[in-house]
Amino acid sequence: MARITCDFFSETLMLNTSMTVILPEQTANQIGMQNNKRQDQKHPTLYLLHGLSDDHTIWTRRTSIERYVAELGIAVVMPNVDHSFYTDMTYGKNYWTFISEELPRIARSFFPLSDKREDNFIAGLSMGGYGAMKWALNKPDQFAAVATLSGVLDIASHVANQQEPNPMAATLYNAYGDQDLKRTMHDVLDLIKKIDASDGEKPKIYHACGTEDFLYNDNLLFKEVCDQTDLDVVSTFDSGSHEWGYWDYHIQRVLKWLPLK
């Protein structure tokens, strides 16, 4: 595999930003690794999103994601979105427009990545777990599957309760101000119902959260909503907290679950 740190200018953000990209490489003599690259075609792609305290480097620093995807022949794109909650911020930059429109276009202009829906997937943890669900449910024509690990999935309640003791309060205010997020494009609990009722594309969903995680209740509520739909959802609640051992284990399960062609 090739791992590339790509520094580039974003017209949307009006600044230089970065992404880490893993690209398939066919090798025969690399000891301890079996790499596969699909010949003469553009790479299936996993967009992998970071959490609140992290950046575009974190998945390669805290997990063996490069090793995990080597045999699958897929690319991984890991962007940097700061503390944006993957939104066009009230007091900040337009990270939703950047992530959902500009990033795929730029990444595909730099690297041989497939633009076919069946070849594109998205996953993330915590803030990134929310961002992955938000992106996939607002633009279901872009992704065949989405995975959320320990996601902030009841965002409307967190924003409404900013006045209460909440370590995310200042960040949420910068992202959303004092908006009521219920039944908006930011509310994944509502988006799940809309996707289920629609006649359009419906991505497969992988959903996991540890039973000791402080976001456990968010994820229980998400499962309750999903259980009322006919969507293809795999939900797992197992022992674990908000930490990298849990996410490292589950990203391996996500990769095995992906509907790769």
pLDDT band of residue 163 (cuts 50, 70, 90) is: low
* Position 37 confidence tier, pLDDT thresholds 50, 70, 90: confident
Checking if the pLDDT of 28 tops 90, the result is: no
165 pLDDT tier (thresholds 50, 70, 90): low
pLDDT reported for residue 169 = 82
Distance from C-alpha of 167 to C-alpha of 164, rounded to nearest angstrom: 10
Higher pLDDT: 22 or 30? It is: 22
For residues 188 and 153, the answer to whether their CB atoms sit within 8 Å is yes
Question: What pLDDT was estimated at residue 35?
Answer: 75
pLDDT of amino acid 136? 98
- What SS3 state is found at 3? strand
The amino acid present at 179, given as its one-letter code, is Q
Dihedral sign for Cα atoms in the order 56, 59, 61, 66: negative
Lowest pLDDT segment from 36-45, 49-58, 201-210, 215-224: 36-45
Beta-carbon neighbour count of residue 257 at 10 Å?
15
pLDDT at 5: 97
- Which helix (H) or strand (E) segment is 103 a member of? helix 103-110
| pLDDT above 80: residue 227 | yes
pLDDT at 181 (0 to 100): 96
How does the average pLDDT of the chain come out, rounded?
Answer: 94
pLDDT bin (cut points 50, 70, 90) of residue 36 is confident
Section 157-177 average pLDDT? 81
pTM above 0.85, yes or no: yes
178 CB burial (10 A radius; 0-12, 13-18, 19+): exposed
Flag whether pLDDT at 29 surpasses 80.
no
Mean pLDDT for 88-116 is 97
pLDDT of residue 46: 98
Tokens of 244: 């990298």
Question: Are 63 and 244 a contacting pair, CB within 8 Å?
Answer: yes
Mean pLDDT of 103-120: 97
pLDDT at 164: 55
**Which has more confidence, 66 or 164?**
66
Arithmetic mean of pLDDT, 141-160:
96
